[in-house]
Chains A and B, each alone.
Chain A
Amino acid sequence: EPEVTQTPSHQVTQMGQEVILRCVPISNHLYFYWYRQILGQKVEFLVSFYNNEISEKSEIFDDQFSVERPDGSNFTLKIRSTKLEDSAMYFCASRLDRGTYEQYFGPGTRLTVT
């Protein structure tokens, strides 16, 4: 069964450094999402992406964040200058098309900013 994959599973970085979190959505899916979950808290929407454009972004998704689909298979989330409060689990999800509602989540990347 096709699945969403994410790499790395755990990333440790120093405050102020740039990080890129990678996701490979399910191959024929058209809609892509990033969510984050700070330890012990609820899952929060960050951004949605369709047709090589951001469809919607949350207040969390400020200028430090960017997303890209560089090669038609990967979907990346970049944090330009990490802060301690960026430490969280980051989940990528994909959805087939506008007429479907199920989002398939990846296993997540745990980001630890020290």
Chain B
Amino acid sequence: AQTVTQSQPEMSVQEAETVTLSCTYDTSESNYYLFWYKQPPSRQMILVIRQEAYKQQNATENRFSVNFQKAAKSFSLKISDSQLGDTAMYFCAFMAGNTGKLIFGQGTTLQVKP
């Protein structure tokens, strides 16, 4: 069975600074995908970034980038130039193959302070 672990329940960062959220996972699958979802206070889940396991290059989306360490089964999210609107719960998620079933971590609450 696959598991996803986020060991940081809460984090805070000053506006304009950089923060890194950690995620580790466990799987025996060779074909899988990893995601970071953002859940603001409105509670709607929004996809932030995606990484295909077969790609060595780390995904980036504007201020968001990942550090994907496949051997270590680690998938951290870096947010650069943090903005107040980044305040939210962030979930790391795993999907085996293209099953569509997402397995989520426990989440990290990020507070961006002015």
Using A102-B47, A106-B44 as known contacts, say yes or no to A35 and B102 having CB atoms under 8 A apart.
yes
Q: B55 contacts which chain A residues (CB < 8 A)?
A: none
Give the size of the chain B interface in residues (CB under 8 angstroms): 23
Query: B105's closest neighbor in chain A, by CB?
Result: A42
A103 close to chain B: CB less than 8 A: yes
Please measure, in the bound complex, the distance between the C-alpha atom of A93 and the C-alpha atom of B37, giving whole angstroms.
13
Of listed A45, A91, A98, A101, residue having the most chain B CB within 10 A:
A101
Q: Is the interface of A mostly helix, strand, loop or mixed?
A: strand
Contact B98–A33 (Cβ < 8 Å): no
Nearest-Cβ distance from residue B38 to partner chain A, whole angstroms: 11
A15 close to chain B: CB less than 8 A: no
Contact A103–B102 (Cβ < 8 Å): yes
Q: B102 contacts which chain A residues (CB < 8 A)?
A: 33, 35, 43, 45, 103
Using A105-B44, A105-B45 as known contacts, say yes or no to A42 and B104 having CB atoms under 8 A apart.
yes
With contacts defined as CB atoms under 8 Å apart, how many contacts are there between chain A and chain B in the complex?
54
Bin chain A's interface residue count.
20 to 34
Please measure, in the bound complex, the distance between the C-alpha atom of A102 and the C-alpha atom of B45, giving whole angstroms.
12
Contact of A42 (CB < 8 Å), options: B42, B44, B99, B106: B106
The 5 closest A-B pairs by CB, nearest first: A105-B45, A43-B104, A107-B44, A42-B106, A42-B104
What residues of chain B have their CB less than 8 Å away from a CB belonging to chain A?
Answer: 33, 37, 42-47, 50, 52, 91, 93, 95, 98-107
What are 8 A-B contacts defined by CB distance under 8 Å?
A: A56-B99, A56-B101, A101-B50, A101-B95, A101-B98, A103-B100, A104-B47, A105-B44
